[in-house]
């Protein structure tokens, strides 16, 4: 049935032209209109999770825009696809798509205000997929990481430089607060990188698609908050030795010795697990 619908429904590019939809710079919109790319995002995400489709699964897409990624997800047969879109100009396109795929649920609202915990408690764990608006990508990610136990997976597109920070290892200039928190909560796989020419309008930077697989026992919110505060202090003065950047941490010398940290190290020298160990002793 889905394959027949795929042949009938208009392409994303045709839908954009039909409704006269132009990307809004103020909303950080860069539309992905190439069906080959949106299909690739879904295909690689499913393959990495050892799945052939979304059968029986609930998926949430943030910022669907004209629905290119939306259609790619729907073609893989989710039980439910809930899309959260704050730009009401996109709603007519999404409603047209829903005419072909009744499992599409449209929510007009701000994803930063959405109650993810409540949805997980009511409906069970779910997947998130999104070509994230770049100006809110890190804020959304950090919010989701605090609630990692709500999700089965997160397939997210970022500016490549942000993706490089998320996946960075200790010792490099890209390693920072978002690296530590992301890697504590999830196993992260880079699926592929995209050039600016894939988007309309074309941004000035490359993009990357990352798959986040929440760890079986993610760090609890109270402890994660301690890690956040610790990394904020350390990376806020990353050029200084931690004896200076973390001097406000009570018992730092004793705790550092216990987990094999030298006070002459700088923020980027500590591993993800060492930050966690320090936070556990605070």
Please tell me the distance from the alpha carbon of residue 145 to that of residue 184, in angstroms, as a whole number: 9
Please tell me the distance from the alpha carbon of residue 245 to that of residue 236, in angstroms, as a whole number: 8
- Any bridge partners for residue 115, and if so which? none
3-class secondary structure for the chain? CHHHHHHHCCCHHHHHHHHCCCCCHHHCCCEECCHHHHHHHHHHHHHHCCCCCCCCCEEEEECCCCCHHHHHHHCCCCCEEEEEECCHHHHHHHHHHHCCCCCEEEEECCHHHCCHHHHHHHHCCEEEEEECCHHHHHHHHHHHHHCHHHEEEEEEEEEHHHHHHHCCCCCCCCCCHHHHHHHHHEEEEEEEEECHHHEECCCCCCEEEEEEEECCCCCCHHHHHHHHHHHHHHHHCCCCEHHHHCCCCCCHHHHHHHCCCCCCCEHHHCCHHHHHHHHHHC
Question: How high is the pLDDT of residue 16?
Answer: 61
Please tell me the distance from the alpha carbon of residue 194 to that of residue 197, in angstroms, as a whole number: 8
Q: How confident is the model at residue 2 (pLDDT cuts 50, 70, 90)?
A: very low
Q: How confident is the model at residue 52 (pLDDT cuts 50, 70, 90)?
A: very high
Higher pLDDT, 13 or 66: 66
Note the pLDDT tens digit of each residue in 210-225: 999 999 999 999 999 9
pTM attached to this predicted model: 0.90
> Does the pLDDT at position 5 exceed 50?
no
Question: How high is the pLDDT of residue 6?
Answer: 46
- For residues 199 and 141, the answer to whether their CB atoms sit within 8 Å is no
Note the pLDDT tens digit of each residue in 178-196: 999 999 999 999 999 999 8
Question: How high is the pLDDT of residue 33?
Answer: 75
Please tell me the distance from the alpha carbon of residue 262 to that of residue 245, in angstroms, as a whole number: 13
Please tell me the distance from the alpha carbon of residue 149 to that of residue 217, in angstroms, as a whole number: 8
Closest to 159 in 3D by CA, of 198, 202, 112, 193: 193
Please tell me the distance from the alpha carbon of residue 71 to that of residue 3, in angstroms, as a whole number: 11
Q: Which two tokens stand for residue 192?
A: 């592929």
Sheet holding 207-214, edge to edge: 104-108, 80-85, 58-62, 126-131, 151-159, 207-214, 186-194
Spell out the CATH class of 2-214.
Answer: alpha beta
| 167 CB neighbour count, 10 Å cutoff | 18
Please tell me the distance from the alpha carbon of residue 151 to that of residue 170, in angstroms, as a whole number: 26
Note the pLDDT tens digit of each residue in 95-118: 999 999 999 999 999 999 999 999
The architecture in CATH of the region 221-281 reads Orthogonal Bundle (1.10)
Domain ranges across the chain? 2-214, 221-281
| 49 CB neighbour count, 10 Å cutoff | 17
Least confidently predicted of 86-90, 159-163, 216-220: 86-90
The pLDDT mean for the chain works out to 89
What average pLDDT does this structure show over 144-161?
96
What average pLDDT does this structure show over 33-53?
94
- For residues 58 and 80, the answer to whether their CB atoms sit within 8 Å is yes
What average pLDDT does this structure show over 75-88?
94
């Amino acid at each position: 049935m889905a394959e027949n619908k795929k042949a009938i429904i208009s392409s994303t590019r045709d839908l954009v032209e039909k409704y006269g939809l132009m990307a809004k710079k103020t909303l950080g919109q860069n539309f992905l209109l190439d069906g080959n790319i949106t299909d690739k995002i879904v295909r690689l995400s499913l393959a990495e999770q050892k799945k052939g489709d979304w059968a029986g699964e609930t998926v949430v897409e943030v910022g669907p825009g004209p629905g290119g990624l939306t259609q790619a997800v729907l073609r893989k047969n989710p039980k439910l696809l809930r899309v959260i879109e704050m730009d009401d100009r996109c709603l007519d396109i999404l409603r047209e798509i829903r005419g072909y795929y009744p499992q599409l649920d449209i929510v007009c609202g701000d994803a930063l205000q959405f109650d993810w915990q409540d949805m997980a408690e009511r409906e069970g764990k779910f997947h998130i997929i999104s070509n994230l608006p770049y100006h809110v990508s890190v804020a959304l990610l950090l919010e989701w990481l605090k609630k990692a136990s709500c999700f089965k997976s997160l397939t997210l597109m970022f500016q490549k430089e942000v993706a490089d920070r998320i996946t960075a290892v200790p010792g490099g200039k890209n390693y920072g607060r978002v690296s530590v928190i992301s890697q504590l909560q999830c196993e992260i796989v880079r699926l592929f990188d995209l050039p600016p020419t894939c988007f309309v309008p074309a941004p000035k930077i490359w993009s990357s698609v990352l798959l986040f697989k929440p760890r079986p026992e993610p760090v609890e919110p109270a402890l994660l908050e301690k890690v956040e505060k610790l990394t904020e202090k350390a990376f806020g003065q990353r050029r200084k030795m931690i004896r200076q950047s973390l001097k406000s941490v009570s018992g730092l010398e004793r705790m550092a010795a216990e987990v094999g940290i030298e006070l002459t190290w700088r923020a980027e020298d500590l591993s993800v697990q060492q930050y966690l160990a320090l936070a556990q002793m605070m």
